[in-house]
Amino acid sequence: MTHADSRGRFYRRPVMLLLLAGLTACAAQTGQAPARPAAGATAAQPGAAPAVPAVPDQDFDTWLRAFKTEALAKGIARRTLDGAFAGVTPNPRVVELDRRQPEGRITFSRYYENTVPPRIERGRRMLAENAEVLSRVAGTYGVPSRVVVALWGVETSFGVNQGKFSIVRSLATLAYEGRRAEFFRGELLNALTIMDQEGFSSEKMVGSWAGAMGQCQFMPSSYLKWAVDFDGDGHRDIWATRADVFASAANYLKQNGWVPGEGWGRRVAIPANLPRGLTGLETRKTLAEWQALGVRLPGGADLPAAEMTASLINPGDEGNHWLVYENFRVIMRWNRSTYFAMSVLSLADEIGR
């Protein structure tokens, strides 16, 4: 989501489940539900800071005229602007969603149960159904097919829940009176650039209320950086072309540091006297150092004798611990939520069994 800047992304059924499609550039979350508003999301981000609505100092039409002038000066074609903004008004629903106050936290176990088990069987079917193109994507970008399918599944339920909001209208609304107006102003310019470059109509540009688009829920800035025309038809179509969806997701992960052939982490047992301050992504130690501190595999066996660094995490603070590697961090660049990363990578493991 990706997704606020990487995924340029933002804030993401049971209600909390699909709060996964928006802004990965918001502040990193540890032990909270995902950090982006997803396709069709209707609930506020658990644990998010209260929304502080902006108070526009001018009416929307005046604001839009000034914005169009800026867009023209930055090279957006007038025909694109005319088509994009024909009849556009602020969307009250987007304003409501942006201003909604945070709700209570969801536990990791609840989030996991809502996210992973319901997607395993379909994920395996999707892996088999798209095996040929996924194999080519994996060969090109070095990202396992199961990881791509898992991301696709968690983001939009394998393309089913992409969102039905007009991207232009949503971003214009948020740029006009949102609490992060400058960010969304930039994303609106990026969306118009996409329309210019790809020849997409505003009807094509649909997604989440916060501007995340397509089956991989890229913000416009993420689309411009990482979307791929893998089928070679001249368009980077992350809405309807699975080859482009898969390759765009894999390209994102590759460009953000995915390590081919390396795992993402493992569950571990920790000694009772291990300092709590060692838990968290900010601490990195070699496996040998964790071994010396008394960290073991759940059955008591030694950690692998591999030259790797890892961080110890305890998502949800529910008593279970994992050592996680660089590829876990890469998924968190997609969406800065430990819940999201744990669920995607666990789903990938289940899909690949």
C-beta separation of 46 from 11 below 8 A: no
Please give the Cα distance from 230 to 243 (Å, whole number): 6
CA distances to 143, 175, 187, 257, 326 from 140, in Å? 8, 37, 29, 15, 20
Tokens 């396992």 identify what position? 144
213 CA to centre of own chain: 11
Tokens of 87: 């009849």
> Which residues lie closer than 8 Å to 242 by C-beta, 6 or more apart?
130, 133, 159, 215
Helix (H, G, I), strand (E, B) or coil at 352: coil
Please give the Cα distance from 307 to 151 (Å, whole number): 28
> Which residues lie closer than 8 Å to 122 by C-beta, 6 or more apart?
153, 158
Q: Is 44 exposed, middle or buried (0-12, 13-18, 19+ CB in 10 A)?
A: buried
Q: Where are the beta strands (DSSP E) in 118-268?
A: 165-166, 206-207, 265-268
Helix (H, G, I), strand (E, B) or coil at 211: coil
**Which of 105, 191, 121, 103 lies closest to 157 in space, CA to CA?**
121
Helix (H, G, I), strand (E, B) or coil at 267: strand
Say which of 103, 132, 155, 318 is annotated catalytic: 155
Residue 313: strand pairing partners:
322
Please give the Cα distance from 131 to 141 (Å, whole number): 15
Print the SS3 string covering 102-140: CCCCCCHHHHHHHHCHHHHHHHHHHHHHCHHHHHHHHHH
Question: What's the angle, vertex CA 126, arms to CA 119 and CA 108, rounded to 5?
Answer: 20
Tokens of 44: 């506020």
Identify whether 187 is a catalytic site residue.
Answer: no
Enzyme catalytic residues: 155
